[in-house]
Amino acid sequence: MPHLFLISDEFAELKSEQPEFMKELVSTARIGRSLGIHLILATQKPSGVVDDQIWSNSKFKLALKVQNASDSNEILKTPDAADITLPGRSYLQVGNNEIYELFQSAWSGADYVPDKEDEDYLDTTVYAINDLGQYEILTEDLSGLDKKEDLTKLPSELDAVIDYIHEYTEAKQIAPLPRPWLPPLEERIPLLKLEKTNYKLEWAQEKKNLNVVLGMLDQPQLQAQNTFSFDLAEEGHIAVFGSPGYGKSTFMQTILFDLVRKNSPEKLHAYLLDFGTNGLLSLKGLPHVADTLTIDDTEKILKLIRRLSQEIKERKRLLSEFGVANLKMYEEVSGAEKPIIFLIIDNYDAIKEMNDFSMQVEPFIIQIAREGASLGIHLAISAGGQNALRIQLLSNIKKQIPLHLLEKNEVSNIIGRTDLIIEEVPGRAIVKLDEPTLFQTALPNEGVDAVHIIQLNQKEAEEMCEFWTGELPQPIPMVAEVLYLNDFIEYPKTIEMLKSTSWLPIGLEFEFADTIGVSLLEHNISVVTATNEQTNSLLQTIGTIVSKKAIKEAVVFDTPSLDLMELKEKSLTYISSLDRIEAKTELLHEEFKRREQAYIKEVESTGTALSRKDFFKDMEGVITIIGSVVTLFNQLSIDTQNKLLELLKSDGRVGMHFIIGNDLGSLAKEYSSIGDYIRSSKTVLLGVRFADQAIFTPAIRILQEKPLQQNEVYLFNEGASEKIKTPKS
């Protein structure tokens, strides 16, 4: 049976800090010696500190230099120790003065130099003592140490002995003794060290796995350090609070990486709201991530709110239809599956700084916190402190975890009163289980530093993307700042409209960033912008799109200033001469009459109520583009004006469509029949704000109308208006 030594330095501190431990120590002093348990206690002032039971059961007493004779009497019953003047000099007393000796204790702090010569080194330096009693070196230092780049620090003799014992026990394979406590928590714990997860195998599982591993718990009361995890389905949401630089963003990375390794992109969709300094940027390449949003993406965030609000309504409807309370029950009853939607919001504090914007965002996040968990929509939020979150939001987040916080009382506000202190270690945190417990958050990957972890995150994300061949979550559609025509004509819906005889694609709508077009069987298009240059530019873009349609003929009427000259190269019938314009107008009018008669004849011969739209929908169309229409119209003969006006008023109902353009300034002053026609147009591309003109009025007034950006226009159709982005040719 080995002997056990209990050694306590600064015994007075132990007694004041752990008074309940003293009873056990007194018991050990009384009966421990017979059991091979020995106490070695050290204190500066024994009076009132060392218990009588310990004194009576202590045979050996060592007294180094003490402060006064009373302290010496307390230990040795003599004043001798008060007279000691040299360091390390000590009195040894065994029993009742059976041995009483003054001796010099050994010093183990000397440098360990095993090859040192036995003779002492003689210092031959010559010093002069100045008037202040200071030493000044007079001789030259020939040791050469001042020229040596690095000096090796020698171990002390105590260190050398410890190292030797350690090496010896390892060489002899002597097992270390069991310890009454576990080693301190590691400061860097990779996630895969806590739980081996192979995403290729996990993704093949049928059921979702929402058990998230967060880190390693330190539970000294259980003599254990266990993996800490929580069930997202049961807990709902999680919030982490910490001062800058203590691992909030890394913790968010860990949570998401554990989830994506356990669930395929079919089962889990994630949105990253990175409101900090790109702490989530390394996650954007994961196949599960639908989109990444920053605090400056105002329009994108509002689109996300609208998308998820619609998803919440749809999921509520499904749960109501099957009479169940949550998504898990719905999937069991219906056999259908819905993906988990996971929102990570890093640095929530930034939302409060966006005054008007926060009024739109915060109510939505509170709704998700309140209703989302049962619908399979979950939140993970990081913030600098609890005061960044509204009380309505906090009250709906079960799991709240503090990292190191500069305001110490904030930890108590989050997890309750505790004596535990969060060290200034990134990732060190406290969680409230049955009682507050320290833990170390895991790292998403095993990197030597933050940069290495980011690189490993990105590499794993690339590998996941290569492995996954199924559908990916759809990003939030956004219209590019500059929409190029070559890109626009590649959109699937644009291609579909170009093949159709009934539709003309003209741009992208902003909500879903998809192609929007106008019907070629309903109304002509009037293009009205602030300047003649803007109008002609838009007409040229539309003309280029028209040139890509399979139609019977596309005609361009241009003024003598040749503003639409570029369309001549697009295989369109380009005319700028007034005589030829009048002649072509006559031909178009004849074609119009022929088509009208064909329709009437068909109706009379069949006796059916055939609509014009059905009759003309498959007939080859004719599209005519007219620039600066007011100027051109006033230069034509009266007969041609009347025929052109009749063609325009047919409004495309015979498959002959007109796209006319004019600037707002000259239109406002034009009170002729052509001016009246444009003002009464049913379909208009308006390149100015509604507030800046009085001709076209939307059915629903637009409040706080913003200025139109480059290539932005309103599609005004029978009173309804929508802002769209037109391509740049």
Nearest 5°: phi and psi at 440? Answer: -110, 120
How distant is the alpha carbon of residue 207 from its chain centre?
26
- Residue whose pair of structure tokens reads 């709201």 in the numeric block: 273
249 is in an annotated binding site: yes
Question: Is the CB of residue 386 less than 8 Å from the CB of residue 241?
Answer: yes
Element (H, E) at 625: strand 622-626
Query: CB neighbours (10 Å) of residue 724?
Result: 20
Nearest 5°: phi and psi at 677? Answer: -65, -45
C-alpha span between 382 and 279 (Å, rounded):
11
Question: Is the CB of residue 380 less than 8 Å from the CB of residue 342?
Answer: yes
C-alpha span between 675 and 661 (Å, rounded):
11
User: Who's near 398: CB < 8 A, 6+ residues apart?
Assistant: 235, 236, 237
User: Who's near 163: CB < 8 A, 6+ residues apart?
Assistant: 155
What token pair was written down for 241?
């609070």
247 is in an annotated binding site: yes
Element (H, E) at 192: helix 191-194
C-alpha span between 602 and 610 (Å, rounded):
8
244 is in an annotated binding site: yes
Measure Cα distances from 292 to 81, 275, 358 in Å: 74, 10, 18
661 is in an annotated binding site: no
- Residue whose pair of structure tokens reads 């007294």 in the numeric block: 63
Task: Assign residue 722 a region (left: φ > 0; alpha: ψ between -120 and 50; beta: otherwise).
Answer: beta
| Amino acid residing at 247 | G
* Helices (H) then strands (E): counts for the chain: 26, 27
C-alpha span between 510 and 569 (Å, rounded):
31
SS3 sequence of 303-370: HHHHHHHHHHHHHHHHHHHHCCCCHHHHHHHHCCCCCEEEEEEECCHHHHHCHHHHHHHHHHHHHHHH
In sign, the C-alpha dihedral spanning 368, 370, 373, 379 is: positive
| Largest separation between any pair of C-alpha atoms in the chain | 142
Which residues on neighbouring strands pair with residue 728, listed in sequence order? 484
Q: How many Cα neighbours within 13 Å face the side chain of 98?
A: 6
- Residue whose pair of structure tokens reads 């507050």 in the numeric block: 436
C-alpha span between 489 and 720 (Å, rounded):
25
246 is in an annotated binding site: yes
Question: Is the CB of residue 261 less than 8 Å from the CB of residue 333?
Answer: no
Q: Which of 399, 442, 433, 424 is nearest to 242 (CA)?
A: 424
What token pair was written down for 621?
């169309």
242 is in an annotated binding site: yes
Element (H, E) at 254: helix 248-262
CA–CA–CA angle 435, 438, 443 (5° rounding): 135
C-alpha span between 696 and 681 (Å, rounded):
9
Measure Cα distances from 722 to 326, 477, 686, 700, 701 in Å: 38, 17, 10, 11, 12
User: Who's near 214: CB < 8 A, 6+ residues apart?
Assistant: 228, 229, 230, 251, 254, 255, 401, 439, 441, 442
C-alpha span between 250 and 28 (Å, rounded):
47
Q: Per the annotation, where are the binding residues? A: 242-249
Residues making up the annotated binding site for ATP are: 242-249
